Amino acid sequence: MNKKVSLKDIAQKVGVSTALVSYVLNDKRQNRVGKDLAKKIKKTATTLNYRPNQIAKSLKTNKTNTIGLIVADISNPFSSQIARAIEDEAEKNDYTVILGSSGENAEKSAKLINIFLERQVDGIIICPVENTQAQVRYLHKINIPFVLLDRYFPEVKANHVSVNNFGAAYMAVDHLIKQGYRNIGMIAYKTSLVHLQERTRGYIEALRNNKQSFKKSRLKELKMGCTQQEVEKAIDQLLKQPVDALFFTSNTLASCGIKYINKLHIQVPNDLGIVSFDETEAADLFYAPLTYIKQPIDEMGKQSLHILLDKISGKKKMITSNIDGELIVQRSSVLE
Amino acid sequence: MNKKVSLKDIAQKVGVSTALVSYVLNDKRQNRVGKDLAKKIKKTATTLNYRPNQIAKSLKTNKTNTIGLIVADISNPFSSQIARAIEDEAEKNDYTVILGSSGENAEKSAKLINIFLERQVDGIIICPVENTQAQVRYLHKINIPFVLLDRYFPEVKANHVSVNNFGAAYMAVDHLIKQGYRNIGMIAYKTSLVHLQERTRGYIEALRNNKQSFKKSRLKELKMGCTQQEVEKAIDQLLKQPVDALFFTSNTLASCGIKYINKLHIQVPNDLGIVSFDETEAADLFYAPLTYIKQPIDEMGKQSLHILLDKISGKKKMITSNIDGELIVQRSSVLE
DNA sequence: TTGAAAGCGCTAACAA
DNA sequence: TTGTTAGCGCTTTCAA
């Protein structure tokens, strides 16, 4: 193993103290170091191919310039895009992110938090999963900077950035109604996660405000992580009723759904209108490209990171942000 | 800020030295510590909610249990899946991974390598981009454990794991021919990356071995990162010729391609057969689900990590691994 | 303008 | 069986 070169090596070679080398290489108290000496030190550093040891620096400064990110399910494009947005922004601010995926599992989430804390991350961004309120409270208690992303718990005070789920869902269903659909079904999740409940609430409110009655039988609530078969069964049950449009509460459900609708040879949009919350690559490739709610992923990533950086730099005030989604209208919801 | 509790705090509370506490908490020289004392130390640790500082540990042991991973383009599902596979496997082995995306850019790649080295990662896994041979040589020179993944440079000796690109491409084209397609075009990349050249070579060889002449006009080589328009133009040029099947060299190209073919209302598979190297979610949703080469992503991730761990633990021998892809036949390439 | 020295939290060689 | 101590590579206070 090549011995790594340290400040000490440079100091010895130049014949000065390590302190001075540290000052020079970090451009601190610039004016108070002899120009020639400074130049010599810098030159020696490059000659020896010096690379500062961040671990040592971190130990000393108590700052790792690292943040932890926990997404709910990295195999979902929403998660990977959010991760990417945050990483891009982190890099611009000289932070490195370590990423974990909780897989919608509370224990896994706890484990990741612990790993992050042991590694002395400066802050954490979490897309929290069900039943992790205690974890959030704990983070608050130990006073580590963190922000919740995409999801939050109304009963737990915490910085968070999320989408206006209610508004976006309302917009989607309102759009379907305005297009002339009269019997709109929804495939949603049975969950304690408020951000998802909000989507369902948006659906119901949009119906009501448009003088369409909300029928319980038209709202199918599946468990998270449900199978293709379960989605198909739900669709079967909906199609037995006079349903002429479907609103999917997530990209995963929509993706399962259109695969099935494809198989059934149902005519979209004329026999069945479709809108999906969040996108899939599939959305564009379906024979009738899907109308969907575009989530402001980049904005969410950026904002969450900047709120976190604010916290890290000591800001106390709680910050929450609620960003509007956008309805992208394509063929699947426009009667011909 | 809650003061973090350290070994020292525990030592003081119990009235022993930090050394002893360290031994007990790490279960070292177990038998040689008084049972009662050990119990007391452990209890105090939990009471104080002690959490070891990995940074300090790393500085001392010169081991971070962290590996760096550089993928070529995190927005591509291939990359995110590979990242996921590696992370899963890393976690099982008590490693944390820090992830970077080079965006097919050599400078970005160099920057990431530098960040990783400064952070004292124990090893690096890289999907190298064009013109980064020097970087690979440098890693070799400074003697840091690393393995190349998915791609490699024949002229640079290095551990790597990759797919049998030639074999998989051959299999794909051979399948088309066996299905009765006679005029097969290919949309490929113009690149110095050998793993992609191998796919083109597989195409040409499969034609030759089946007594079909290879026509240069049927091989379109686009630059990496090309636009939808450029793909459409290439398809236009191919369709002017008597071409009855297309082989796409990547999921991105295939995705662009089928969007266009969808628009053109071409009948797949009867008027045009299609096979894609690597998959897209889109592949299943196209009206004629796509036949594609399934890359052994999990296996690649796993193997690369284990080779890296071997290197980290001191194994010297160079290891390379070449894994076969699998042809998943769906409707898009089967004449009816 | 420069340097000495303490110390971040931990491990491990050595001593008792 | 238990404890002392040096030191990982760095920053920063204080002194010269």
> Per-residue pLDDT averaged across A14-34, rounded?
83
pLDDT at A214: 96
pLDDT in tens, B302-326: 999 999 999 999 999 999 999 999 9
A127 CA: distance to closest CA in chain B (Å): 17
The answer to whether the beta carbon of residue A52 comes closer than 7 angstroms to any atom of strand D is yes
pLDDT at B4: 86
* Partner residue facing A55 (CB), from B120, B282, B287: B120
The full 3-state SS of B185-231, as one line of letters, equals EEEEECCCCHHHHHHHHHHHHHHHHCCCCCCHHHEEEECCCCCHHHH
Query: Is A64 close to B55, i.e. CB distance below 8 A?
Result: yes
Query: Is A81 close to B101, i.e. CB distance below 8 A?
Result: no
Which whole-number Å values give the CA distances from A181 to A265, A275, B40, B44, B210, in the listed order? 19, 12, 70, 65, 55
Phi, psi of A36, deg, nearest 5: -65, -45
Residues of B in contact with A251 (CB under 8 A): none
- Equal fold, A64-162+297-323 vs A165-296+327-333: yes
Task: Say how many CA atoms lie within 13 Å of B288 toward its Cβ.
Answer: 23
- Side by side, which strands form the sheet with A273-277? A219-222, A184-189, A245-248, A273-277, A291-294, A326-328
Query: Is A282 close to B287, i.e. CB distance below 8 A?
Result: no
Instruction: Enumerate chain B positions whose Cβ falls within 8 A of a Cβ in A.
Output: 1-2, 51-56, 58-59, 64, 66, 74-75, 77, 80-81, 83-84, 87, 96-101, 114-115, 117-120, 142-143, 255, 258-259, 262, 280-282, 284-287
Fold held by B7-52: 434 Repressor (Amino-terminal Domain) (1.10.260)
What number of residues does chain A have?
A: 336
Does residue B247 sit in helix, strand or coil? strand
- Side by side, which strands form the sheet with B245-248? B219-222, B184-189, B245-248, B273-277, B291-294, B326-328
Cis peptide before A269 (omega within 30 of 0): yes
Taking CA–CA distances from A119, the nearest residue in chain B reads B54
Phi, psi of B292, deg, nearest 5: -150, 165
Mean pLDDT of chain A: 94
Contacts of A312 (CB under 8 A, 6+ apart): A122, A123, A145
pLDDT in tens, B71-116: 999 888 999 999 999 999 999 999 999 999 999 999 999 999 999 9
pLDDT at position B243 over 70: yes
* Residue for token pair 């049927």: B218
Least confident of A16-20, A163-167, A177-181, B173-177: A16-20
Query: Is A58 close to B53, i.e. CB distance below 8 A?
Result: no
pLDDT at position B336 over 90: no
pLDDT in tens, A135-154: 999 999 999 999 999 999 99
pLDDT in tens, A56-74: 999 999 999 999 999 998 8
The answer to whether the beta carbon of residue A105 comes closer than 7 angstroms to any atom of strand D is no
Q: How confident is the model at residue A297 (pLDDT cuts 50, 70, 90)?
A: very high
Does residue B184 sit in helix, strand or coil? strand
Note whether A195 and A151 are within 8 A (CB).
yes
- Beta-bridged to residue A68, according to DSSP, are A98, A124
Note whether B333 and B246 are within 8 A (CB).
no
pLDDT at position A285 over 80: yes
Q: How confident is the model at residue A31 (pLDDT cuts 50, 70, 90)?
A: low
* Strand D bases contacted by the protein (CB, 7 Å): 1-5, 7-13
Least confident of A16-25, A191-200, A319-328: A16-25
pLDDT at B279: 93
pLDDT at B176: 98
Note whether A202 and A169 are within 8 A (CB).
yes
The answer to whether the beta carbon of residue B60 comes closer than 7 angstroms to any atom of strand D is yes
Taking CA–CA distances from A260, the nearest residue in chain B reads B285
pLDDT at B31: 60
Taking CA–CA distances from B287, the nearest residue in chain A reads A287
Angle B69-B302-B60 from CA coordinates, rounded to 5°? 55
Contacts of A240 (CB under 8 A, 6+ apart): none
Q: Round to a whole number and report the distance in Å from the CA of A308 to the C1' of D7.
A: 35
Task: Say how many CA atoms lie within 13 Å of B161 toward its Cβ.
Answer: 22
Tokens of A320: 């929450």
pLDDT at A193: 97
* Partner residue facing A281 (CB), from B59, B66, B280: B280
pLDDT in tens, B17-72: 888 889 889 887 666 677 788 888 889 999 999 999 999 999 999 999 999 999 99
Cis peptide before A289 (omega within 30 of 0): no
Q: Which CATH number applies to A64-162+297-323?
A: 3.40.50.2300
pLDDT in tens, B290-302: 999 999 999 999 9
pLDDT at B29: 65
- Side by side, which strands form the sheet with A146-149? A320-323, A160-163, A146-149, A123-126, A66-71, A96-101, B96-101, B66-71, B123-126, B146-149, B160-163, B320-323
Q: Round to a whole number and report the distance in Å from the CA of B16 to the C1' of C16.
A: 15
Contacts of B12 (CB under 8 A, 6+ apart): none
Mean pLDDT of chain B: 94
Closest nucleotide over all strands to B10 (CA to C1') = C9
Tokens of A49: 């191919």
Burial label for A35, CB within 10 Å (0-12, 13-18, 19+), is exposed
Q: Round to a whole number and report the distance in Å from the CA of B3 to the C1' of D7.
A: 24
Q: How confident is the model at residue A30 (pLDDT cuts 50, 70, 90)?
A: low
Beta strand extents in B72-197 (DSSP E only):
96-101, 123-126, 146-149, 160-163, 184-189
Taking CA–CA distances from B252, the nearest residue in chain A reads A281
Closest nucleotide over all strands to B26 (CA to C1') = C11
Query: Is A2 close to B115, i.e. CB distance below 8 A?
Result: no
Strand C-proximal residues of B, range 38-77, CB below 7 A, are: 52-53, 56-57, 59-61
Size of interface A-B (CB pairs under 8 A): 108
Domain A165-296+327-333, CATH class in plain words? alpha beta
Note whether B299 and B323 are within 8 A (CB).
yes
Going by C-alpha positions, the residue among A57, A65, A49, A62 that lies closest to residue A10 is A49
Burial label for B98, CB within 10 Å (0-12, 13-18, 19+), is buried
A186 CA: distance to closest CA in chain B (Å): 21
Query: Is B99 close to A87, i.e. CB distance below 8 A?
Result: yes
Least confident of A171-180, B20-29, B146-155, B174-183: B20-29
Which amino acid is present at B311?
Answer: K
Query: Is B96 close to A77, i.e. CB distance below 8 A?
Result: no
Q: Round to a whole number and report the distance in Å from the CA of B110 to the C1' of C4.
A: 38
The answer to whether the beta carbon of residue A23 comes closer than 7 angstroms to any atom of strand D is yes
pLDDT at B30: 60
Determine what percent of chain A is predicted with pLDDT higher than 90: 85
pLDDT at position A201 over 70: yes
Note whether B137 and B145 are within 8 A (CB).
no
Number of other CB atoms surrounding residue A197 within 10 Å? 17
Task: Say how many CA atoms lie within 13 Å of B173 toward its Cβ.
Answer: 32
> Per-residue pLDDT averaged across A243-252, rounded?
97
Task: Say how many CA atoms lie within 13 Å of A4 toward its Cβ.
Answer: 12
pLDDT at B1: 45
pLDDT in tens, B246-280: 999 999 999 999 999 988 999 999 999 999 999 98
pLDDT at B170: 98
What number of residues does chain B have?
A: 336
Q: Sketch the domain layout of chain B as residue ranges.
A: 7-52, 64-162+297-323, 165-296+327-333
